[in-house]
Chain A
Amino acid sequence: MSSTEMQVQVEPQRPWIDRTSSLKDTVALVGVSAILAAVANLVTGLAGLMGFYLAFVIFFVITSVIDGYRHDKVKAVDKMATALVTLGFATAFIPWASILLTVVRRGWPAIYGGYFTHDMSVTAADDDLAMGGLSHAIVGTGLILLVACIISIPLGILTAAYITEIRGRLAGFVRIMVQSMSGVPSVVAGLFIFATIVSRWKFSGLAGAFALAILMLPTIARTAEEVLKLVPEEVRSASYALGASQTATTFRIILPAARSGLITASVLGVARVAGETAPLILTAYYSAIFSTKMTGQPIASLPMYVYQNFTVGTDTALTRAWGGAFVLLTLILILFVIARIIGGRGKK
């Protein structure tokens, strides 16, 4: 013990934190490149916003290298790498920003007061946007997710508990299975349910829930496993020392202790599958009519609402599709925020 206390931590701990370049330098680099890019934008064939960005990338790299050469070659290469790495990251963010912007901008016109209270039973996909809505899709998605949760949350948590708490002989094997299960393409999960359930009892919300449960299970099991690992070993020892059995320790001590983490795991699992479309094409399919019946008939869902309107393809239908995408994305974002709030509370 004393030897580790004697060790002096050597500074700097993380030498890659750049202390030499100032914000002023960076602003100057960006500014110069932007001006050059603007000139190129007007003079050469690199027209439009895309051309401007491309020119900016080129000039930013060049000016970085020149800037570096004021010191030496090593610095120049370092500066170039910095420029490329930063631009790589920035470029990867552009499409995502574009997706979010497009969903909001094109989805917004579809949304009006009645959007959440009407269904599409008396409205055609290319009818006026002031008619119809997606109440049926919201309720359908909610029901399907609810049933999927009822199936997969207990199974997922039990699987995680088997790996971390029971530590049975097959724990390692089960772990690998859970891992490969998380790689099962969603369409294959849908196909499986199609073959077992739909081919006998027709499309139904229940079938959709089964398919989504298959996809949720590995996410929940893996996140729950991480959470259960965080429960201190002392808690287990204390429980055993008081004479509790393994089952009692797992179900009455460990799982309650990890409660908030397990809720986070479940919410993340739901967020992961809420937008799945492919398995629903094969299981719950789509219906334009508001319904809460989970068996014997197709039921609507948000992703299928989007898909259905997309396949119709007229301008109004596409706006409806974007509207559905907007609602769907908002739902997923809310789920994520909930997961973060609960997860953050658990850490304290």
Chain B
Amino acid sequence: MSAFVVMSLIAALLFFRGFQIFKAFGLDFITTSTWDAADGTVANAKFGVAAMLVGSIITAVIAMTIAFPFVVSSALFLEFYVPKKVKAVLVAILDVMAAIPSIIYGLWGYLVLMPLAAGWASTINKYLGWIPIFHVEVKNFEASPFVSGLVLALMILPIAMSVTREVYSRAPLDQIQAAYALGGSRWGALKTVVLPFGRSGLIGGMLLGLGRALGETIAVLLTLNLVFQVKFQILASAGGSVASLIASRIGEASPLELKALMAAGLVLFLLTLIVNFGASTVVARAERRVK
């Protein structure tokens, strides 16, 4: 029961605290992107999370896109390409990887990955710069949504992989054997039996990863330059993240801004709740079909 109580308390309280903001700014809170506490009165202040919300979604989508091929290949590799004993060791390592704190991902992302990723981004921009999302106005490729997306991709890999692997491992053995009996190769069997069978598991795993990416705070805070402007140029050094906004502003916020941050927290809470609920529904349906 405690879980239920805590959940409803969180929602109720954030709503209650943020209510004044919603009352004062209404839909503007979602659709505009100015963040200005001014003198701390409702009349002069302007709060809108549009840029942060769009930024959160962009970085999360980048992370998903980058992670996707690795999720599929790693899940297949662990389940169908390595001996059981090797698999047990690799899975144990993956479990530990999933527990590396996000602050360490952030530290590594900023100091080790960012210089490299900025180079890659510059190369992408050089050859594909004519595509709008790869265009940049100023040639500064650091702290971009692309860099954060890379770090997030790494962070969501273990969870997405383990869910996907779980579903792949339940693919019907008789059908796999049938595929082999018909003269199919290993890849033939995987393509015709395992991949179609595991599709919903894969979607569920990716959605769980998406939920995690949307809520990630510290790793994004360290690797992304927060800018209050809706932008779709993923290589430019400007992006947004609701979670990081909360962590970065809370220390110096006025009472009114605090309320705005509560409201932002509520938006993030609802967003991740929807994504996670979708994920667990998809996974549950996949599991029911197996039984």
Contacts and interface: CB of A to CB of B under 8 A. Distances in A.
Interface of A is mostly: helix
A243 to B, nearest CB: 28
A7 to B, nearest CB: 13
B108 A99 contact: yes
Contact of B101 (A182, A190, A303, A321): A303
Given A78-B185, A336-B96, 14 more contacts: A74-B188, A89-B74, A183-B272, A183-B275, A184-B269, A185-B272, A188-B14, A188-B215, A188-B265, A188-B272, A192-B10, A278-B243, A336-B95, A336-B99
A100 to B, nearest CB: 8
Contacts of B10: 184, 188-189, 192
Interface string B248-282: 00110000001001100100110011011101100
A98 B277 contact: no
B99 to A, nearest CB: 5
Contacts of A336: 95-96, 99
Contact of B107 (A81, A221, A322): A322
Nearest to B208: A183
Nearest to A332: B99
Interface stretch (B24-32, B42-50, B138-146, B173-181): B173-181
B104 A191 contact: no
Interface in A99-113: 99, 102-103
B286 to A, nearest CB: 15
B69 to A, nearest CB: 6
B6 A176 contact: no
A314 interface: no
Interface in B178-202: 180, 184-191
A322 B154 CA distance: 19
B104 A185 contact: no
Contacts of A80: 187
A184 B6 CA distance: 11
Contacts of A78: 185-188
Given A187-B215, A333-B96, A86 B77 contact: yes
B112 interface: yes
Given A96-B154, A176-B280, A310 B185 contact: no
A236 B76 CA distance: 39
Interface stretch (B33-41, B129-137, B216-224, B228-236): B216-224
A82 B186 contact: yes
Contacts of B258: 199
B281 to A, nearest CB: 10
Interface in B115-141: 116
A222 to B, nearest CB: 10
Interface string A161-196: 010000000100110111111111111111110111
Contacts of A82: 81, 186-187
A139 to B, nearest CB: 18
Interface residues of A, number: 84
Given A88-B73, A102-B112, A318-B111, A282 B104 contact: no
B247 interface: yes
Interface residues of B, number: 82
A303 B103 contact: yes
Interface in A276-306: 276-278, 281-282, 303, 306
B14 A191 contact: yes
B107 A16 contact: no
A86 B78 CA distance: 9
A331 to B, nearest CB: 10
A214 interface: yes
B108 A102 contact: yes
25 contacts: A16-B180, A16-B186, A18-B186, A74-B185, A81-B187, A86-B73, A95-B154, A184-B269, A185-B217, A185-B272, A194-B250, A195-B17, A196-B13, A275-B104, A278-B217, A281-B250, A282-B246, A307-B103, A307-B218, A322-B107, A325-B101, A325-B103, A329-B104, A332-B96, A332-B100
A187 B241 CA distance: 12
The 5 A-B residue pairs with the shortest CB-CB distance, nearest first, are: A275-B101, A185-B215, A88-B73, A183-B276, A78-B185
A322 B215 CA distance: 24
A159 interface: yes
Interface in B146-160: 154, 157
A91 B70 contact: yes
A274 interface: yes
A202 interface: no
A319 to B, nearest CB: 11
Given A155-B2, A181-B6, A275-B104, A10 B273 contact: no
A328 to B, nearest CB: 6
A128 B74 CA distance: 44
Given A103-B104, A177-B7, A188-B268, A96 B97 contact: yes
Contact of A180 (B69, B72, B99, B277): B277
A294 B176 CA distance: 58
A276 B243 CA distance: 14
